[in-house]
Every structure is written in C-alpha cells, then in structure tokens.
Amino acid sequence: MKLSKILIGAIMAGIAIQTLPSCSKDRDLTPQQKEAKKKEEEKKRHMDPCPACGMG
C-alpha cells in the first residue's frame, strides 16, 4: 500500500526524534534523577518486545 509523501516525512521525523538522546538541562539533575530519566526514555524508545509466542 502506498503512503503519502507527507506521511512518510512525518514518520521519518518521528523516528529521528525517538532515536535521539535527550540533550535538555541534564546538568541540573542529580545522578539519581539522570538515571531515572534515562530509564524512562529507554522505556519509551524500546517498548516491550513480544514475549507472547512463547520461547521468546
């Protein structure tokens, strides 16, 4: 199925944003906060893979 060029561009940008490491105001965070933030971003970037077929 063919998708519109506009949608392809939006997906491309969306992937790029999701793949980028965060660069905002990390200097103001404590090491614990940085760790928690890193974990949260990791969760968002890597959603649960599928365990459901079994043997995964």
Partner 1 sequence: MPRLLSTVACNLDPHLLGACLPLFESGEADAIEWSFDALYRLDALPDWFHGLINAFSEGNRLIGHGIFFSLFSGKWHPEQETWLRELSAVCRKYRFDHITEHFGFMTGQDFHHGAPLNIPYTDAALRIGQDRLLRIADACGRPVGLENLAFSWSVEEVRRHGDFLDQLMEPVNGFIILDLHNLYCQVANFDLPFETLAALYPLHRVREIHISGGRWEPSEDRSRSIRRDTHDDSVPEEVFRYLENIIPQCPHLRYLVMEQLGAGLETEDSKTAFRADFRRMAAIAGQWNVTKGDEILHPFSPPATPPQGAPLEDLALHQQQTELSSILENAPSFEAATHALQASSLAQSHWQVEQWSPHMLETAIRIAQKWMKKN
User: Nearer Cβ to partner 1, position 31 or 56?
Assistant: 56
* Binding of residue 36 to partner 1 (CB under 8 A): no
User: Nearer Cβ to partner 1, position 27 or 32?
Assistant: 32
Q: Contact 18/44 with Cβ under 8 angstroms?
A: yes
Going by C-alpha positions, the residue among 44, 49, 45, 23 that lies closest to residue 34 is 23
**37-44 long-range Cβ contacts below 8 angstroms, 24+ apart:** 44/18
* Binding of residue 51 to partner 1 (CB under 8 A): yes
Question: What x-and-dash track marks residues 13-32 binding partner 1 by CB under 8 A?
Answer: xxx--xx-------------
